[in-house]
Amino acid sequence: MGATAAAGQRCASVPGGAVVTALERLGLTALHRLEPETAHKAALMALRAGLTPLPGLVTSERLRCTVAGLSMANPVGLAAGFDKNAQALSPLSRAGFGFIEVGAVTPRPQPGNPRPRLFRLAEDRAVINRFGFNNEGMETVAQRLANRPRNAVIGLNLGANKDSADRAEDFARVLAHCGRHLDFATVNVSSPNTEKLRDLQGAEALAQLLRGVMEARGGLPRPIPVFLKIAPDLSDGELSEIADVARASGLSGIIATNTTLDRDGLHGPHAQEKGGLSGAPLFGKSTRVLARLSQLTAGEMPLIGVGGVASPEQAYEKIRAGASAVQLYSALVYEGLSLVERIARGLDGLLERDGFANVADAVGTGRDAWI
């Protein structure tokens, strides 16, 4: 998904900002002429080749934070899905993110669903994907993670093979194999693109799955935080059950949310494609789930807000709804990688405007408006 190009202004900290903006716009135009999955691969290639200007560390006293024991330069992270196979860890560590999540990764390599399986909805600033956990498998990804940059916070989204006889065990296997190279891991039972995967969000099945994952974590050289990524299409009762299971299982936090199956209010020729919808239309729904989880957990469990974040104001809204940190991905398709620095620096300005000494002080201060 074309993350090498952006519309908008480049922060002044990058030399030649006007030129960079023009280059990003040209790159975005070129990438959007390609089939979306081809454009995504081209964006990764450009990153690895050093063709994308990168700001390096973006931080301040207000932005520095600790989430589930992870020390972050800022609370703006990259969501799973962009770098599925951990191919661009070095350049991504210099792109301004406070933390990076790669994957999802399954025990065995799998091709995923047939193409086409990625669709831009430009009118809605959205994306629909039905990839189906396509990845190169834990053996290959673990080798790349072993050579990861050490000055970045890097996590892995754990997945299960489509044809696995025991999907719950798959999550634990990936963690056991890759965990020594990670700063955190995420249990992904919320992708809508693997048949019946979301069934694992039920209280009993989820508790059993998490027991296996936490046992695998106990066998690592050092314990790492484990998060659970949930769907936005859950009832209030289901959210309550998940919050209870998360606490009982010893999870470090919850990521809210994955993509949605809703199609309300969409426009354009691809609006009814099957798969998970992400981007701007998801912002309200995912933020309401985030706020409700914050209420259910009484602020005792770190939450990461993801879904439709495309501006400093939206990142700030997620934080005020209860998120200790945020993630983005789909907005990069339309705004480019320079969006990361714009959000981080803009968030810093919003915190200063409202008198917060640190981002942690703003967490949950606007939650009631979403409940």
Q: Residue range 139-143: average pLDDT?
A: 98
Q: Residue range 32-52: average pLDDT?
A: 96
Tell whether residue 323 is among the known ligand binding residues: no
Tell whether residue 257 is among the known ligand binding residues: yes
Distance CA 344, CA 351 (A): 11
Q: Residue range 115-124: average pLDDT?
A: 97
Structure tokens at 221: 């050289």
Cβ–Cβ < 8 Å for 201, 230: yes
Cβ–Cβ < 8 Å for 175, 217: yes
Q: What per-residue confidence (pLDDT) applies to 22?
A: 80
Query: Which residue pairs, CB below 8 angstroms and at least 24 apart, start in 242-248?
Result: 242/201, 242/203, 242/206, 243/293, 243/296, 243/297, 243/301, 244/203, 245/203, 245/206, 245/207, 245/210, 246/297, 246/301, 247/297, 247/300, 247/301, 248/207
Q: Which candidate in 13, 60, 190, 191 is catalytic?
A: 191
The CA–CA distances, whole Å, from 236 to 202, 291, 301 equal 13, 12, 18
Tell whether residue 130 is among the known ligand binding residues: yes
Distance CA 12, CA 23 (A): 16
Q: What residues pair up with 154 in beta bridges, in sequence order?
A: 100
Residue 201 — very low, low, confident or very high, per pLDDT cuts 50/70/90? confident
Tell whether the model's pLDDT for residue 204 goes beyond 90: no
For the chain, give the mean pLDDT.
92
Helical spans, DSSP H, in 68-186: 89-92, 138-145, 167-178
Tell whether residue 93 is among the known ligand binding residues: no
φ/ψ of 155, rounded to 5, equals -125, 170
Q: What per-residue confidence (pLDDT) applies to 202?
A: 77
Tell whether residue 56 is among the known ligand binding residues: no
**191 belongs to the catalytic site:** yes
Tell whether residue 97 is among the known ligand binding residues: no
Strands of the chain (E only): list them.
Answer: 65-67, 70-72, 76-78, 99-105, 118-121, 126-129, 154-158, 184-188, 226-230, 253-256, 276-279, 303-306, 325-328
Q: What per-residue confidence (pLDDT) applies to 285?
A: 98
Residue with tokens 């789930």: 289
pLDDT in tens, 252-297: 999 999 999 999 999 989 999 999 999 999 999 999 999 999 999 9
Q: What per-residue confidence (pLDDT) applies to 12?
A: 34
Q: Residue range 239-243: average pLDDT?
A: 94
Tell whether the model's pLDDT for residue 18 goes beyond 50: no
3-state DSSP assignment of residue 40: helix
Q: What is the pTM of this model?
A: 0.93
Tell whether residue 80 is among the known ligand binding residues: yes
Tell whether residue 318 is among the known ligand binding residues: no
Lowest average pLDDT, out of 8-12, 154-158, 178-182, 233-237, goes to 8-12
Tell whether residue 132 is among the known ligand binding residues: yes
Tell whether the model's pLDDT for residue 5 goes beyond 80: no
Distance CA 101, CA 89 (A): 10
Tell whether residue 163 is among the known ligand binding residues: no
Largest Cα–Cα distance in the chain?
A: 55
Tell whether residue 133 is among the known ligand binding residues: yes
Cβ–Cβ < 8 Å for 59, 74: yes
Q: Domains in the chain and their CATH numbers?
A: 56-370 (3.20.20.70)
The contacts of residue 342 (CB under 8 Å, 6+ apart) are: 8, 9, 11, 312, 335
pLDDT in tens, 322-339: 999 999 999 999 999 999
Tell whether residue 83 is among the known ligand binding residues: yes
Q: What per-residue confidence (pLDDT) applies to 20?
A: 52
Lowest average pLDDT, out of 13-27, 74-88, 154-168, goes to 13-27
Other Cβ atoms closer than 10 A to 267: 11
Structure tokens at 338: 């320079």
From first CA to last CA, the distance across the chain in angstroms is 33
3-state DSSP assignment of residue 256: strand
Q: What per-residue confidence (pLDDT) applies to 4?
A: 34
Q: Residue range 84-96: average pLDDT?
A: 98
Tell whether the model's pLDDT for residue 198 goes beyond 70: no
Lowest average pLDDT, out of 20-29, 244-253, 316-325, 341-350, goes to 20-29
Cβ–Cβ < 8 Å for 64, 73: yes
